[in-house]
Structure 1
């Protein structure tokens, strides 16, 4: 039997990654109630919002109000694509920032109209400056396994991109299976290499459940030594720039699986499902994840 950790950290990304692709606008007050309910469920790390142009992602137009209206507890990330977003986030009082780059040039260009290396060249002085200010910075590595336009991504390309960030002093790498095509073997192989290569950096796995392999990929990542996972309550999410990508792996199903494996998360599943109930009326698609369905049927 493979060894398992006793604890794992769940980073709830529903308020940002879960809602950014939602077709109808969710009101700020409803987002804040969702976030507050998630905090009550026990989340110590959460991705709140993103400071992006509302022209491209209208759902995130209230980012300053979200940061201001959220009770400060634990580590709260905001996504920042460029210098303008970083400055706006810092002015709002955000203390933990996330930047993002796609390993795939084509994906990166369709996402932010820059090649991967153009993005890295622009981000380098910004990240170095943030680290001088002792700001916590996570790097979100998109299309780390597959790209909807280029197909399979070589592990070496992902590792090389991560190495650049590590050389800049990044605090955390969030490595994403953006379109949900990775297999458990690919998950184990890549994260084993990444952890061996960068043992001093927080390593987080981010899986989408397009082909219903996200839970298996998480088990494989656990075997490789990963103990941090991005998940989204209700399985909400997707990427507006990644055709075919469905929602993130559902937080409640991940927490249930980990608890059944005697891996503690500090998350109360019933309170987590209560938080999902608060946001479900405001999203387009019904929430049909395993644990949430069981929760509703037993009420």
Structure 2
């Protein structure tokens, strides 16, 4: 065989090589459309919202490959449902193209609850959204700073900053509505325990102001109030008035004060 090639002239071999090259080129370019499926365009079907298994089966039946590329957590759609697809529905692509899917997670990721107290409602809402948490109920309570967050709750209980909660959780916010317009007499707290006074303040939409605790107090909640500001009555015997949202300062002692008929404390705390 090699003798046959070497016996021919160089020019004949060159012409044969060139002819062979062109023959192979013609075959290659003839087969290229078949190899690349040139001209065979398919429309990508819509698989958003389908379970990932159903979505993959639908894509494969339509002539595509499918691959889960990413996952996300959305509380409004079922677990393992397709949230997004690339290319999107209606796109014209070649047969056999891989369609990438983003699938909803089965378990919500946990995030640390931020401290929203003191923030405006708008700022609190934006912070919750950035963590994929939702604003649940909004409850308004009289207080000084209008439309600021006074408290954050989950299932009716105070939610401390740093507590881990699931994405998509609804957070209840207690917001300030500003001071009330109606004035009411200041409640009388003298002789009550601090726990009792807090309940009355809450029921009256008033706030605890400064709390001054004597050195002998070991149990704050059960300590007695011997002085308050503003007082129940002024110097001429008229009632002092407060609006909802205002604060009352309380002075606590371990000794329960004795009150006279006017309601004033007759003796100072034992530790004064």
TM-score range, shorter chain: under 0.3
Structure richer in helix, relative to its length: 1
User: Which structure is higher in RCO with an 8 Å CA cutoff and minimum separation 6?
Assistant: 1
TM-score by length of 2: 0.20
Q: Computing the radius of gyration over CA atoms, which structure comes out larger, 1 or 2?
A: 2
TM-score by length of 1: 0.19
Structure richer in strand, relative to its length: 2
